[in-house]
Chains A and B, each alone.
Chain A
Amino acid sequence: MTVPAHVREEDERLARERKKLARDGSKLKGARLEARLDKSWARPPGIIGWISTVDHKEIGRRYIVTALIFLALGGALALAMRMQLARPDSALIGAARYNELFTMHGTTMMFLFAVPVMQGVALYVLPLMLGTRNCSFPRLAAFSYFTYLFGGLLLWGAFFLNIGPDVGWFAYTPLSGPEYSPGKRADIWAQMVTFTEVAALAVAVVIVCTILKQRAPGMTLARMPLFAWAMLVTGIMIIFSMPSVALASAMLISDRLVGTHFFNHFEHGDALLWQHLFWFFGHPEVYIIFLPATGFVSVIVEAFCRRPVFAYPVVVLALVATGILAFGLWVHHMFTTGLPRVGYSFYTAASMTVAIPTGLQIFCWLATMWDGRPRLEVPMLYVIGFIVTFVIGGLTGVMIASVPLDLQLHDTYFIVAHFHYVLIGGAVFPLLGAIVYWYPKITGRMMNPTLGKIQFWMIFLGFQLAFFPMHLSGLLGMPRRVYTYPAGLGLELPNLLSTLGSLVVGAAVVLFVVNGLVSLFRGAIAPDDPWKAPSLEWATRSPPPPYNFAHIPVAESRTPLWDQPDGLPVVTGLRVDEKELLVTTVVAAAPDMREPVPHASPWPFIAAVAVAIVFIATIFSPWALAMGIVPAAIALAAWFWPKEIKREPEPVIT
């Protein structure tokens, strides 16, 4: 026997104590249960409690609010650029400042807004939708938020100190290399990438593990809400694509700081290596932003048409197919760099193929609307706005997948129009719909629907006015990323229209913020399930208590709240005086384990600070890496180290 006698005695004593522990069940339910759960799930108060929280809802909310602030900042830069471009030969903003503006705009929107906001919504909504009490690895989620925040502060702090990056959001070498970008601007860009990739990868792991292991009993993969499928594919895509840009940015900074030659042509490096590594991440990135949005659309269409999404398996397979195909497209960003013939053919074919699964999804949504009874409330309006706008953007995408046309249109405003149609139409419209949709769950109040409708029409029409003319200015040959254009080329009218449209969009965004803030205090009180929707997040209170569900719900169908005539089925037996959740099997979601939930801890925050110091200091000296490892390692060790070395009847994570 390998276990000593005193340990065996201790085992037996703990087993006896285990029998006395309080658990939820038919004897312990209702208000009495909730009062005890409130106590065991509460986080410490004050600022220490604020940085220590491990509640997925608090972290998700922070992610969403922070990302929306970055959206507003990025949007303000866009308006500044549109002001400059309103008239030809304008001297409002100089060339150098303009370079900074479009770099900051693209970088902010891609790295600090689009990906984090989708992950933030997923962090908030998914555990509720899956019927669990917290996300997996909540301390990792907390760490990731602070890492993301510090990355954003680095970029914007640098911008305000007038050392913001000015090399484009893709930072092509050799422009971003040591020869052509002396100073620290490009290094700040590269380290901002490191911060945001670490954060995004951490959340991706959290999301994938939550989806695979923490679904409500009975929620087999085939019964999972489509938003969960979309986030599962997105999470896996992040895991496979983001290491590439993290590696690339590390190579760039080492070329700049310690004299390696990865991208230096004169020492047999290659600038195109940068483009390959960047776009191997950069193209999947587009789908990492788009697929969560398709998840929003599926959820909203289902709820507002009172019908399960048409052809669920087709939508799931389309999501998976898009996720796989997205990794075979990156070279279409590089058609003008000169490629082998077969490369042109392959990447053109792949780029056109990806339209097929996306088209299938759109037909499934249309069929759902056709067969259901659509209620044209605000979230549904955004879905319709999405379909119209995204289809236009998708069609121009198929056009520029063709090499001869791309060679002509590359780096013109036609491309700018295309990707704003797919990114704003494809991701921001569904996101705004999703915010209106889940706002009552998050805040406990409804957003004002009249303001919401006015705001929708303003942003939808303003968007078309801003971006449709860019197709024309692009076809007329207007290049991107140039701070002005001469008069007399026919570019005046489309540019003026674009600027007017952007002002309408800006006003609509202000209205959205006003609606969001005012409704927080004045909005109608939201019931648990204001939209009569089918998924589990609507089974709990609005806003949900810290433990989400007093008893873990069971899913007996794809639309559990629509198919439960005799009450919501629940399982019981989880601990009441400690935080605990249920782990289920990957495919069948059969109950597998009870899992302790980590207590609140300041160490993820401290670890994020230590890591931030390393990342920022390595902009200036490679030795920072060697020295910075020590505090970071100590912080991580303290994160894992139990606060009390004492065996408990059942494991707790302190």
Chain B
Amino acid sequence: MNRPLRFTDDLADLPTHRFGPSSLTWWGVVAFMVIEGVAFAMAIAAYFFLMGHEQGWPPEGRQPPALLAGTLFTILMLLSEIPNSMVKRAAHERNVAAIRVLMPILILIGIVLFVIRGFEFNSLNCRWTDDAYSSIIWALLLLHTAHILTDWIDTLVLWLLMRTELGYEGRKLVDTDENALYWRFVWLTWLPIYLLIYWVPRL
């Protein structure tokens, strides 16, 4: 810089971490939620586009998916918000001990969700190769499963990190807060998909 300079404020006392929209990574997480939300929205649009071609939904001769596994999944997913909110609050309070206990619970819930999801695929009453209806139902379920997997891996890595002394670092607490935010996105997007897979074919 060869220009003459005029010194104004000194910012040495600014913080190096903040929760919520002040944080750069919060915006990154929101941007990725929008990207994935748009992907869900387009898949849902495709669902209705294909539905418009059919006389019945599911197409004649097909059973709608069995309700049990999907409904169990939904209930467990909604319940998971309780430990998730607790982790979020603990991050704000810098309660690392609580985070270290709660995160394994979320990881365990994730494993149970995977098992139930396996039964869900089995209870769709169709294979993806059957027809366009079956293809889109499978696609929606698979797309959502990818999100459970992403957040599960993220939670696992973060938990391992929170067990170290770095867990007390402000920026790691912000990461924990934002991971909990992302989990909310994962279960919120499940709700319309649950309706589309299990209930719209019953209308």
Contacts and interface: CB of A to CB of B under 8 A. Distances in A.
- Asked if A and B are interacting partners, one says yes
B166 A645 contact: yes
A212 B94 CA distance: 28
B11 A651 contact: no
Contacts of A595: 16, 24
A567 B136 contact: no
Given A269-B132, A280-B42, A539 B15 contact: no
A262 B136 contact: yes
A2 B95 contact: yes
Nearest to B36: A243
Contact of B22 (A7, A277, A540, A593): A593
Contacts of B136: 262
Contacts of B134: 261
- Measured as residues with beta carbon below 8 angstroms from the partner, the interface class of chain B is 35 or more
Nearest to A6: B165
B27 interface: yes
A274 to B, nearest CB: 10
A573 interface: yes
Contacts of B24: 136-137, 209, 213-214, 583, 593, 595
A26 B12 CA distance: 13
A189 to B, nearest CB: 19
Given A260-B128, A270-B49, A554 B8 contact: yes
A566 B17 CA distance: 34
Contacts of A217: 9
A243 B42 contact: yes
A25 B13 CA distance: 13
A239 B10 contact: no
Nearest to B97: A2
Interface in A1-49: 2-4, 7, 10-11, 23, 25-26, 29
Interface string A264-283: 10011110010011001000
Contact of B10 (A25, A209, A242): A25
Interface stretch (B78-86, B107-115, B168-176, B182-190): B168-176
Interface in B22-46: 22-24, 27-28, 31-32, 34-36, 38-39, 42-43, 45-46
B128 A258 contact: yes
Nearest to A4: B97
Given A539-B1, A583-B22, A645-B165, A23 B42 contact: no
A637 B157 contact: yes
Contact of B49 (A244, A273, A583): A273
Interface in A231-246: 239-240, 242-244, 246
B202 interface: no
Interface string A534-571: 00000111000000011110100000000010111111
A221 B133 CA distance: 47
Nearest to A549: B1
Contact of A268 (B17, B31, B36, B131): B131
B195 interface: no
B14 interface: yes
Contact of B166 (A140, A280, A647): A647
B46 A267 contact: no
Interface in A204-255: 204-205, 208-209, 212-214, 217, 239-240, 242-244, 246-247, 251, 254
Q: Which of B6, B7, B22 gathers most chain A CB within 10 Å?
A: B7
A262 B132 contact: yes
B153 interface: yes
A29 B5 contact: yes
B66 interface: no
Nearest to B135: A260
A262 B135 contact: yes
A23 B28 CA distance: 28
Contacts of A594: 11, 14-16
Interface stretch (A412-420, A453-461, A584-592): A584-592
30 contacts: A10-B165, A23-B10, A25-B7, A137-B28, A201-B35, A205-B32, A209-B27, A209-B28, A209-B31, A247-B46, A261-B135, A262-B50, A262-B132, A267-B130, A268-B133, A269-B132, A273-B49, A551-B1, A552-B11, A564-B3, A566-B4, A571-B7, A572-B7, A573-B11, A583-B24, A593-B18, A594-B11, A596-B16, A640-B157, A645-B164
Given A23-B12, A243-B35, A251-B46, 16 more contacts: A25-B10, A29-B5, A136-B24, A259-B128, A260-B129, A262-B139, A528-B2, A564-B3, A568-B6, A569-B7, A570-B8, A573-B12, A574-B12, A582-B14, A647-B165, A651-B17
